[in-house]
Structure 1
Amino acid sequence: MSIAVSALILPSRRLWRLHALLHLLVLLAAACAPDAALRLALAAAAALAACRAHGLVNLARLDISGVGAMRLAVYPLLAARAPATRGTAPAVHAAARAPPDAWAGQAREVRLLPGSTLWPGLMLLRLRGDDGAVQWLAVLPDSVGAEAWRRLALAVRAVAAQAPAAHGTG
């Protein structure tokens, strides 16, 4: 059985909701803080964090070959054109329907590193590119379809089980 898989990873709505909940909890902590300076600092931190990365939505494509070689392409899209919800993201779906050749120019070779998390409800992949840069890729079940989730989980486990020397993950 081949482990080859190609998965389009959409932004997770669950992760977005958890992020929003975290901001609300920080604001609640700011409201309950006894010191005015602490209230101001917590409120400023929550506002800064909320504004920091909401302009971009990352769409990713992870390709794993039959021998375990991995390629990753990450596409930041403007959130105004591609909201994080699946039902209303025409730019995201248009990118998903693009032919594989359209993705090839932007993909880069990556290796799975130790420290990656493979749980039944979360794949947190620690990847290193040829340039040495380490990148984390969070994949939740709502980021991909059910069949793609199963195939991707099997392929990532197979790659992780291979000898570290073969992929340079040591």
Structure 2
Amino acid sequence: MSIAVSADIKPSRLLLLVTGFACLCVALTGVLLCVWLPGSWSWPARIALALACIIAAGVALLTVLRERKTIWLHISGTGQIRVVEHLLAASSRTKPQVMSAGLAQLLAGSTIWPGMLFLRLRLESGKTRTIPVLSDSVSEDTFRALSVACRWLISHNTAKARMLEK
């Protein structure tokens, strides 16, 4: 069975929308706590709590926005994974700028659901990277092929681990 897949994974708009809504809820919770917190708290403590919530929401949103990159994920027929992170060029005539590339290994903590994949990869550098793949990140056919390939890799890695234990 050949599991070769090549996927161009774009940042998910749905994930950005959900994250933005969660950050807005945290910021509004801070403001509401500032206004309606029981009278035992002083106003400076209430304002400090509200500012902490607003700053935490802002930092979380900026972190998510900074991590939005397009990723090319190539899985060979033998199960080797190559990850290429790039920025799209401003015009369609110029080539995209490659930021980093390298081999990766699919880790056991990856989540594979019918409409969402969270792929935990260990890169060559030793860092762990989680790549969210939602249904709006790739085409339907690519999503299905990527899901099948990742399931095959997980089962193949599990079978290898069992062989090594014996």
Under TM normalisation by the shorter chain, which class is it?
Answer: 0.7 to 0.9
Q: Which of residues 38, 62, 69 in structure 2 aligns to 1:58?
A: 69
Tell me the amino acid that sits aligned with residue 25 of structure 1: C
Aligned match of 2:132: 138
How do residues 31-70 of structure 1 correspond to structure 2 at under 5 angstroms? 31-33=31-33, 34=37, 35-55=46-66, 57-70=68-81
Tell me the amino acid that sits aligned with residue 17 of structure 1: L
Q: Which has the larger radius of gyration?
A: 2
CA distance in 2, matches of 1:131, 1:76: 20
For the 8 Å contact 1:3–1:65, the answer to whether it is kept is yes
Residue 44 of structure 1 deviates from its aligned partner by 2.1
Aligned match of 2:6: 6
Report how many aligned residue pairs link the two structures: 151
CA distance in 2, matches of 1:55, 1:17: 15
Structure 1 unpaired stretches of 5+: 82-89
Tell me the amino acid that sits aligned with residue 74 of structure 1: E
Equivalent position SS for 1:42: helix
Residue 12 of structure 1 deviates from its aligned partner by 0.3
Aligned match of 1:85: none
Root mean square deviation, CA, Å: 2.9
CA distance in 1, matches of 2:100, 2:31: 45
The normalised TM-score by structure 1 is: 0.76
CA distance in 2, matches of 1:6, 1:119: 19
CA distance in 2, matches of 1:94, 1:141: 28
Residue 23 of structure 1 deviates from its aligned partner by 1.2
Q: Which deviations, in whole Å up to 9, do the C-alpha atoms of 1:29-77 show, x marking residues without a partner? A: 0121122221121122223333345356300011111111111111245
The normalised TM-score by structure 2 is: 0.78
**Cα distance change, pair 52–157 in 1 and its aligned pair in 2 (3 A):** closer
CA distance in 2, matches of 1:139, 1:52: 18
For the 8 Å contact 1:70–1:110, the answer to whether it is kept is yes
Aligned match of 1:113: 107
For the 8 Å contact 1:57–1:77, the answer to whether it is kept is no
Is 1:156 matched with 2:150? yes
Greater displacement, 138-147 / 34-43: 34-43
Equivalent position SS for 2:78: coil
Taking every aligned residue pair, what percent have the same amino acid on both sides?
Answer: 35
Equivalent position SS for 1:156: helix
